[in-house]
């Protein structure tokens, strides 16, 4: 996770060990996206002759780029809690890394590979897909102007009305605006990739910690020496409490964001299905809506898989405690195991605004809800 943390430090969303944290850079990113992207796109919708195609096309971009505002605000507000969780999880894995058992070492190695390759793969996917999406229109316009000397309609990275100046009045003004837009989008991509990868890595690491705890519980009966077994049990109970503390911190930090993400996904699916059902399909609009829908679905699916893994790993510790030979231990050990067993029966989970758990089941539920809302919208739209 070092690469993820360094990227967050670069864009101002993580404290640096050599200097005190200042939120100015992070707040500037949120303000720039709000003032330079969201408001101009909304102004473009209002000042044009609003129709379904214009509204939905710009709304698709606002859904993706505007994600920085709630996600950045949540990441900034819960930064101390996330940093504390990161340091604690990292400290725990450094401690258990001395365990010589292969299954534990396999889990630790998998955690490191997951964090590293998730960040690299996600960043590569953004370069491959988001790059052409944002620079195709400006590059086409520049090539056409260079070859013919005629400036056609000057379209920027996205359709926007900047109110204070006319984007199409001057080629150089248009070019400067495009350069600023691309710089803003690079910053936005860095934040979205690094913050999502941080959340995914922390969720995966906490789940891995629960798995290691279950492995350690399963080997308690192999320890013959009472003192050694008691010390190992105390260590396991401490790790168990740390794992639950990390899970609670992540749930507290992410439950509002999960609610926003699920809501945006359902809204986008409804709008995409409405656009697809129109008699005269705008293929550019359909392509853009499909890209946005796949983006949101992939993110929700990733969180759903990790949420399911967290729930299964946390409940597995309860089963491991129950399968151990607790009935053959001393009264003191039985009491310790009883308290740990009672705690492990409370499932650790990620929620969407405290309404329901994030899992593969709720992922399917979100899709069914989106189709139900689409059916209602289609009836209303068809009745007009």
At residue 115, the pLDDT reads 85
Per residue in 34-52, pLDDT (tens digit) is 888 888 888 887 876 666 6
Determine how many CB atoms are found less than 10 A away from the CB of residue 41: 21
Q: How confident is the model at residue 262 (pLDDT cuts 50, 70, 90)?
A: confident
pLDDT(72) > 70: yes
pLDDT(5) > 80: yes
pLDDT(161) > 60: yes
CA distances from 327 to 197, 235, 331, 333, 343 (A): 43, 20, 9, 9, 18
In contact, 63 and 292? CB cutoff 8 Å: yes
Between CA 123 and CA 118, with CA 107 as vertex, the angle to 5 degrees is 5
At residue 182, the pLDDT reads 86
Q: Of the spans 49-63, 127-141, 240-254, which averages the highest pLDDT? A: 240-254
pLDDT(192) > 70: yes
Least confident of 127-131, 147-151, 316-320: 147-151
In contact, 214 and 316? CB cutoff 8 Å: yes
pTM above 0.85, yes or no: yes
- Please state, for a pLDDT cut of 70, what percent of the chain lies above it: 90
Q: Of the spans 126-130, 169-173, 192-196, which averages the highest pLDDT? A: 192-196
Per residue in 283-298, pLDDT (tens digit) is 666 777 777 778 878 8
**What is the average per-residue pLDDT within 163-188?**
80
Per residue in 338-370, pLDDT (tens digit) is 888 888 888 888 888 888 888 888 888 878 877
Distance between first and last Cα of the chain: 53
pLDDT(383) > 60: no
For residues 301 and 373, which has the higher predicted lDDT (pLDDT)? 301
Per residue in 99-143, pLDDT (tens digit) is 888 888 888 888 888 888 898 888 888 888 777 777 777 777 777
Mean per-residue pLDDT of the chain: 82
At residue 202, the pLDDT reads 93
At residue 252, the pLDDT reads 92
At residue 346, the pLDDT reads 83
**What is the average per-residue pLDDT within 215-220?**
86
Q: How confident is the model at residue 17 (pLDDT cuts 50, 70, 90)?
A: confident
Pinpoint the alpha helices (H) of the chain: 2-10, 24-32, 39-47, 52-65, 68-77, 79-96, 102-148, 171-218, 226-276, 283-323, 331-344, 360-383
At residue 280, the pLDDT reads 62
Helix/strand/coil (H, E, C) string of 305-331?
Answer: HHHHHHHHHHHHHHHHHHHCCHHHCCH
pLDDT(374) > 60: yes
């Amino acid at each position: 996770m070092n690469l993820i943390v360094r990227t967050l430090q670069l864009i101002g969303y993580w404290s640096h060990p050599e200097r005190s944290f200042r939120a100015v850079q992070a707040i500037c990113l949120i303000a720039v996206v709000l003032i330079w992207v969201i408001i101009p796109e909304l102004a473009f919708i209002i000042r044009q002759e609003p129709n379904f195609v214009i509204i939905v096309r710009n709304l698709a971009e606002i859904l993706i780029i505007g994600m920085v505002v709630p996600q950045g605000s949540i990441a900034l507000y819960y930064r101390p809690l996330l940093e504390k969780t990161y340091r604690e999880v990292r400290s725990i894995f450094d401690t258990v890394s001395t365990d010589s058992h292969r299954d534990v070492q396999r889990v630790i190695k998998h955690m490191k590979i997951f964090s590293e390759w998730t960040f690299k793969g996600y960043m590569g996917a953004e370069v491959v897909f988001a790059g052409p999406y944002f620079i195709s229109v400006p590059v086409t316009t520049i090539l056409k102007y260079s070859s013919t000397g005629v400036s056609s309609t000057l379209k920027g990275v996205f359709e926007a009305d900047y109110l204070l100046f006319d984007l199409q009045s001057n080629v150089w003004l248009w070019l400067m605006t495009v350069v600023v837009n691309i710089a803003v989008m690079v910053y936005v991509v860095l934040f979205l990739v690094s913050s999502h990868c941080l959340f995914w890595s922390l969720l995966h690491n906490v789940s891995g910690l629960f798995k290691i705890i279950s492995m350690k519980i399963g080997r308690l009966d192999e320890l013959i020496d009472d003192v050694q077994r008691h010390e190992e049990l105390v260590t396991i109970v401490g790790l168990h409490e740390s794992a639950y503390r990390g899970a609670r911190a992540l749930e507290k930090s992410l439950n509002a964001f999960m609610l926003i993400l699920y809501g945006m996904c359902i809204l986008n699916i409804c709008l995409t299905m409405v656009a697809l059902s129109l008699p005269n399909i705008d293929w550019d609009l359909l392509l853009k809506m499909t890209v946005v829908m796949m983006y949101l679905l992939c993110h929700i699916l990733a969180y759903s898989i990790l949420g399911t893994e967290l729930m299964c790993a946390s409940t597995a510790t309860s089963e491991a405690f129950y399968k151990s030979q607790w009935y053959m231990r001393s009264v003191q050990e039985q009491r310790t195991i009883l308290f740990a067993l009672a705690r492990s029966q409370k499932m650790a989970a990620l929620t969407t605004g405290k309404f329901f758990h994030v899992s593969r089941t709720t992922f399917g539920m979100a899709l069914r809800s989106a189709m139900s809302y689409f059916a209602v919208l289609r009836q209303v739209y068809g009745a007009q």
